[in-house]
Amino acid sequence: MNSRQRSVLIRMIISFAVFAYIGYLAWQQLPVFDFKVIIAFFTIYLLCAISEVFIYKDPDTYVIEDEDRKSYLYLQLSFLVALFYAAIDFVEYHYTRVYSLEPAIIVTGFFIFLFSWVIRWWGFRSIDKYFNPRVAIYEEHQLITWGAYKNIRHPLYLGAFLSSLSLPLIFNSWGALLITLCTTIPALVYRINIEEEFMLRHFGDEYARYMERSRKMIPGIW
C-alpha cells in the first residue's frame, strides 16, 4: 500500500467512525425513511471513497512547482458547508425541504452522485500517477490528453461538481442547492483558471492546441 493509499484509508476509517456514530443517533431520533436515506448516503459515500484507495498511485518523480492559491481549500469548504446545511435541513429544521418532491428528488440525487463517481473514477484512471490535489507539476510531467481527458480538460472537476450538486437533491434541501451554486461554481471556475494558466506556462503551445480541440468541463458547451 503506497503513501496516498494509506492516507486515504486513514481518513476513511475516521469517517466511518463518525458516520457510525451519526447513524446511531439518527436511528434513535429520525423517522424510518429519513434514517434509510442517511444510512444509504453514508454507505455509498464510504464505498466510493474507499474504492479510490486502490486507484491512487505514487508518482515516479517529485513535484517541481505548485500554485494552488488556496483553491483546493475553497473547494473543500464549499462542499462541507453545503453538506452540513443539507444534513441539518433534512434531519432537523426542514427550512427548505419540500416533502411533495420525495422520494423522486432523493432517488435522482443518488443517481447523480453515482454518476459523478464514475466520472471521477475514469478521471483518476486516466491521469494516473500525475494526480495531485494541488495545482502541481512533476519532473518529466506528461500532458494527459486521452481517456477522460480527450474531450474535456477537467473531468475530475466535473465529477466534483456533480457530486456537490447531488447533495441538495439527496437531502431535498433547496437552501443547500443555493449554497452549492453560489460557492462551488465560483470555486471551480477559480481553480480551473489557475490550473489553465499554470499548464499554459509549462506546456505552452501543446496545451494551447489541446485547449482548441477540447472543452473545460462540459462536452460541447463549456
Tens of pLDDT along the chain (222 residues) come to 555 556 566 666 766 666 666 667 667 777 888 888 988 988 888 888 777 777 777 777 888 888 888 898 898 889 888 888 888 888 888 899 999 999 999 999 999 999 999 999 999 999 988 888 889 888 888 999 999 999 999 999 999 999 999 999 999 999 999 999 999 889 999 999 999 999 999 999 999 999 999 999 988 888
Q: Is 119 helix (H, G, I), strand (E, B) or coil?
A: helix
Closest CA to 90 of 134, 51, 42: 42
Give pTM, 2 decimals. 0.87
Residue 124 to residue 155: CA distance in whole angstroms: 9
Output the pLDDT for position 161. Answer: 93
Give the up-direction half-sphere exposure of residue 161: CA atoms within 13 A in the CB hemisphere: 17
* 171 and 89 Cβ atoms separated by less than 8 Å: yes
Residue 203 to residue 142: CA distance in whole angstroms: 9
Output the pLDDT for position 216. Answer: 94
According to DSSP, the residues that pair with 215 across neighbouring strands are 152
Residue 21 to residue 135: CA distance in whole angstroms: 35
According to DSSP, the residues that pair with 63 across neighbouring strands are 138
Residue 209 to residue 186: CA distance in whole angstroms: 26
SS3 content of the chain, % helix, strand, coil (to 5): 70, 5, 25
Cell numbers for 170, please give them: 439527496
* 82 and 152 Cβ atoms separated by less than 8 Å: no
Residue 65: CB partners within 8 Å, gap ≥ 6?
136, 137, 202
